Structures are given as structure tokens and as C-alpha cells.
Amino acid sequence: MRPHSLAEVVERAREDGDWEHHLRDFLDAFYAADGDVARQAAFIADEPGLLGLPEADAFLGGAGEHLARRWGLRMPAWVRAESRYLTTALFVPDDKALRGYLLCVSPVSFRTRLIFTGPDPLQRARFPYHRGVITMPPEHGFPKAEPR
């Protein structure tokens, strides 16, 4: 069964160390609840505790904040804890050729934590695409091609 809270993600990760796997499963469950605002808010409401891995703890804080912002949910206070922020930049993926792009497109929920990632880092196959996706550049000003 998929985790239905970020607290469950941390609990499971403490058992096997694979927080990224559990986060992906959590996101699938979160997106399956699309449209049920109360249920989705409950997914991120409880403080998940810390794994003691600064990158993971910060990324989970960014995920909670990003989901709250993106789905118009109440912002949980735990996402603002100092332990949810890095002091050294993390690039995901860590490819020097992509760093300029990642600096530009990272959502604010991650950028403020010094996590630089793609424009929609929590996108999954189960993502509710009818809500639209974030791309970069969102408004680039290039002329549109004329239909033939």
C-alpha cells in the first residue's frame, strides 16, 4: 500500500533507507486523490520527522511546500523549519551543463532551499495532466508558427 502522508514516507525510509522510492509512491497516492482537497491537505499536514539526511529532509520540505502551493492547500508550518533548508546548493541532476537552466527553472519551494531542479520536479505518470504542467520558459516571447 502506498504511503498517504509524508510522515509515512519518513517512517518507511527509516526502515529501508529508500526515501526517494517512498516519495514516488506517496506522490502517486496524492495525485490519485486529485480533486479531494481535504484528503490531499491531510497528506501533507503532519510533520514527517527528519531522516538526518540534510538533502532528503530539505527535499521533503520542498515537496510539502510545492504540493501546498500547486494545489492551493493550506501551507503546513513544518515546511518552514530550519532543518528543511540546505546551506550548500544541490543540483538535481548534478550535471554542470544543466546548472544554468536549473537555476532558472527551479520552483520557489525548492530554490529557497538551495535545491535546483526541473520546473515540475514532482511530476509522475499519475500526475493529473489536465491541471497543466510547468514548462520553461513559460512565456518566452518567440513568435508562433503559422498554421499551413
**Residue holding cell 532551499?**
113
Q: What is the pLDDT of residues 35-72, one digit of tens each?
A: 999 999 999 999 999 999 999 999 999 999 999 999 99
Q: What is the pLDDT of residues 61-108, one digit of tens each?
A: 999 999 999 999 999 999 999 999 999 999 999 999 999 999 999 999
Domain boundaries, the chain: 6-119
Give the phi and the psi of residue 115 in degrees, each rounded to 5.
-105, 120
Q: What is each CA distance from 67 to 96, 112, 141, in whole angstroms?
A: 28, 15, 28
Q: 23 near 7, Cβ under 8 Å?
A: no
Residue positions counted in the chain: 148
Q: What is the pLDDT of residues 10-22, one digit of tens each?
A: 999 999 999 999 9
Q: How far apart are CA 88 and CA 110, in angstroms?
A: 13
Smallest Cα–Cα separation from 122: which of 12, 30, 19? 30
Q: How far apart are CA 87 and CA 64, in angstroms?
A: 19
